[in-house]
Chain A
Amino acid sequence: MIALKNTDIGFDTALFSIEEINFSKGNVHVLLGKNGVGKSALLSTISGLIAPARGKLTLEGKLLSGYSFKYLAKKIAYVRSNVQEVPFLTVDAFLLLGRYHYKTFLGGHSGEDYDLIKQAKDLFGISHLAEKFTNELSSGELHLCAIAKAYVQQTDYILLDEPTSHLDYANKRKVYELLGKMAKEHNKGIIISTHDLDLAFKFSFNFYLIDTQSKTLKSVKTFKEVEKEFI
């Protein structure tokens, strides 16, 4: 479980505060909020890239800052909203980078690594892109590959910052379905931020809204509750 208590979130200065919240395994947690309210800041904080401006952030009961970077890489995967396209990096090679937390110095990749990559490609429907360079993909394809890379990383938690914003409707649906399936069937804790309100509420996910009035994160159940924030 990832738990935050009396925590302020922000890159340099606090953007909003969290009284208490627990992101459990086995569920998809959806962060909602206007542009710039701090959804990315929260995800970056949970990933360990930035420290909370104030307060406590724990992973499995221990302070997140107490874990080594290597350990965190085995526990938490983070798909950021901007995925870097790299010339001469094939999709296969890109996906293999998701296994580097288990790679030893100069050691090769194991059969398990290649199996996982094949699974991920089938799951996300990107097998036909395997030999393409990442700078030859559309931004939607690139994001699908980035999500597949997070799957390959085989962590307990996956954080995704607006993973569906570049995808077409069919792929959006597919990603939400897959995320739900991964949470339920593989007992993963998945936290995403999104602006796809209509689509996301069709799934039985946990929803949270960053309220701009009170500058707090609160749990919400229905579309009605978030409506007035966005109108």
Chain B
Amino acid sequence: MSIKGSNKILFPLVGVGIVLLSFLSLLIGDIATDAMDVFNSVFHYSENNLSELVIREIRIPRVCIALIAGAALSVAGMLMQTLFQNPLAGPYVLGINSGASLLVALGILSGSVFLSSEIGLIGSALLGAFIFGIFILFTASFLRNQIGLLLFGVMLGSFVSAIITILELSSEAESLKSFAMWSMGSLNGVTIEQLPIICIAFILGSVASLFLVNPLNILVLGEEECRLMGYNVKRLRLMIVFITALYTGLITAFCGPVAFVGLAIPNLTRMLFKTQDHKLLLFANLMFGALFLLGCDILIQVMSAWVLIPINALTSLIGAPFVIYILIRKIR
């Protein structure tokens, strides 16, 4: 399972890229800041300094959530693709996001105070993602056809968005507005107080994924092979759906739906490293996913002087052509 020497250099490069872009991202924005403000906002923070306040309360949470969301969604995509042996699978295409969106919509649009609260929102998103994950898993057990399963995911998405439209029409202006804001997707919604809980959930999911690398390596040969090598496939499937739902639910709750990251990045990493070694792919997805979404966010910041782009729109603009490229490559 060795990788070609020339590609190993990508890891330190991406690492350096993440550090540099994070720092850049802390510096740019409407309010001018310099390196000293960044340093102070972390180590000598004073609320009275506007630059330090902006960096600590707005930019640090945004950089962190961009890194975490990119990493988490990419790993979720990798897990789905290996589980369903389908390079075009991903939490978004399979409709796991839709599950989170549906329950969040029900919560917010019902006007319930509890369900619109932070805890209610996270709870709904996690539960919705998990229920839809199990649903997809169940469907996959008799819908063996790769394309069929993807179509099923897309149908699930259409079905849910139809329900959401109906809900929207019959709900009050106030809750409608807050749902519309949420569904556009944004990395600005996270506060510094929420970061620890997001980080803990993210680390839990990543460690759990690390425990699955051995069976995942066998799973590329099929579920029977995995079982024949002594792994409990039922438990493995549940673990994968659980981690995917945790990641997708968490990110969807805080940032809204973010499309294509989970589909494009795992394909990109497999193509770059030309391997099926999931230990390597896991780290590659964590790093490339983080770098990609951070890059997207910086692009949005830079463009914001001329045009406002929601994060979900930008990832789709970049991700969709890439996925079409993969499709064409596959057919040829």
Binding site for B on A (CB under 8 A): 47-49, 68-74, 77-78, 80, 84, 86-89, 92-93, 96-97, 100-101, 103, 105-106, 133
User: Mind listing 22 A-B residue pairs with CB under 8 Å?
Assistant: A48-B228, A69-B230, A69-B231, A72-B228, A73-B228, A73-B229, A80-B224, A86-B221, A88-B271, A89-B275, A89-B276, A93-B275, A96-B1, A100-B214, A100-B218, A100-B229, A100-B230, A101-B229, A101-B230, A103-B214, A105-B214, A133-B274
Is B210 an interface residue, CB under 8 A from the partner? yes
Would you call A49 and B224 a contact (CB within 8 A)?
Answer: yes
Binding site for A on B (CB under 8 A): 1, 85, 210-211, 213-214, 217-218, 220-222, 224-225, 227-232, 270-271, 273-277, 279
Which 4 pairs between the two chains have the least Cβ-Cβ distance?
A73-B230, A70-B230, A89-B276, A69-B230
Least Cβ distance of A98 to chain B in Å? 8
Q: Which residues of B contact A70 (CB under 8 A)?
A: 230
Contacts A88-B276, A105-B211 hold; do A97 and B218 have CB atoms under 8 A apart? yes
Q: Which residues of A contact B273 (CB under 8 A)?
A: 88
Least Cβ distance of A130 to chain B in Å? 11
Would you call B225 and A84 a contact (CB within 8 A)?
Answer: yes
Would you call B274 and A88 a contact (CB within 8 A)?
Answer: yes
Would you call B228 and A84 a contact (CB within 8 A)?
Answer: no
Contacts A88-B270, A88-B275, A88-B276 hold; do A72 and B218 have CB atoms under 8 A apart? no
Contacts A68-B230, A101-B229 hold; do A84 and B222 have CB atoms under 8 A apart? yes
Closest chain A residue to B271, Cβ basis: A88
Kindly state the separation between the CA atoms of A69 and B234 in the bound complex, as whole angstroms. Answer: 12
| Listed residue (A47, A93, A133) with the most chain B CB atoms within 10 angstroms of its CB | A93
| Listed residue (B210, B228, B274) with the most chain A CB atoms within 10 angstroms of its CB | B228
Would you call A72 and B276 a contact (CB within 8 A)?
Answer: no
Least Cβ distance of B39 to chain A in Å? 37
Q: Which residues of B contact A133 (CB under 8 A)?
A: 274
Q: Which residues of B contact A78 (CB under 8 A)?
A: 228
Q: Which residues of B contact A49 (CB under 8 A)?
A: 224, 227-228
Least Cβ distance of B4 to chain A in Å? 10
Least Cβ distance of A195 to chain B in Å? 22
Closest chain A residue to B222, Cβ basis: A84
Least Cβ distance of B255 to chain A in Å? 31
| Listed residue (A71, A72, A87, A97) with the most chain B CB atoms within 10 angstroms of its CB | A97
Contacts A88-B270, A88-B276 hold; do A97 and B217 have CB atoms under 8 A apart? yes
Would you call B210 and A100 a contact (CB within 8 A)?
Answer: no
Kindly state the separation between the CA atoms of A4 and B220 in the bound complex, as whole angstroms. Answer: 32
Q: Which residues of A contact B214 (CB under 8 A)?
A: 100, 103, 105
Kindly state the separation between the CA atoms of A133 and B270 in the bound complex, as whole angstroms. Answer: 13
Kindly state the separation between the CA atoms of A77 and B218 in the bound complex, as whole angstroms. Answer: 14
Would you call B227 and A86 a contact (CB within 8 A)?
Answer: no
Q: Which residues of A contact B229 (CB under 8 A)?
A: 73, 97, 100-101
Q: Which residues of A contact B228 (CB under 8 A)?
A: 47-49, 72-73, 77-78
Q: Which one of A47, A74, A97 lies within 8 Å of B221 (CB-CB)? A: A97
Q: Which residues of B contact A48 (CB under 8 A)?
A: 228
Contacts A86-B220, A100-B214, A106-B210 hold; do A93 and B227 have CB atoms under 8 A apart? no
Given contacts A49-B228, A100-B214, A103-B214, 11 further A-B contacts (CB under 8 A): A68-B230, A80-B224, A80-B225, A88-B274, A92-B1, A93-B276, A96-B1, A97-B218, A100-B229, A101-B229, A106-B213
Would you call B211 and A93 a contact (CB within 8 A)?
Answer: no
Q: Which residues of B contact A47 (CB under 8 A)?
A: 228
Closest chain B residue to A44, Cβ basis: B224
Q: Which residues of A contact B1 (CB under 8 A)?
A: 92-93, 96
Closest chain B residue to A107, Cβ basis: B214
Kindly state the separation between the CA atoms of A72 and B232 in the bound complex, as whole angstroms. Answer: 12
Kindly state the separation between the CA atoms of A149 and B332 in the bound complex, as whole angstroms. Answer: 30
Q: Which residues of B contact A93 (CB under 8 A)?
A: 1, 275-277
Kindly state the separation between the CA atoms of A93 and B1 in the bound complex, as whole angstroms. Answer: 5
Q: Which residues of B contact A101 (CB under 8 A)?
A: 229-230
Least Cβ distance of B318 to chain A in Å? 23
Closest chain A residue to B210, Cβ basis: A106
Q: Which residues of A contact B274 (CB under 8 A)?
A: 88, 133
Kindly state the separation between the CA atoms of A133 and B277 in the bound complex, as whole angstroms. Answer: 13
Q: Which residues of A contact B225 (CB under 8 A)?
A: 80, 84, 97
Kindly state the separation between the CA atoms of A105 and B277 in the bound complex, as whole angstroms. Answer: 14
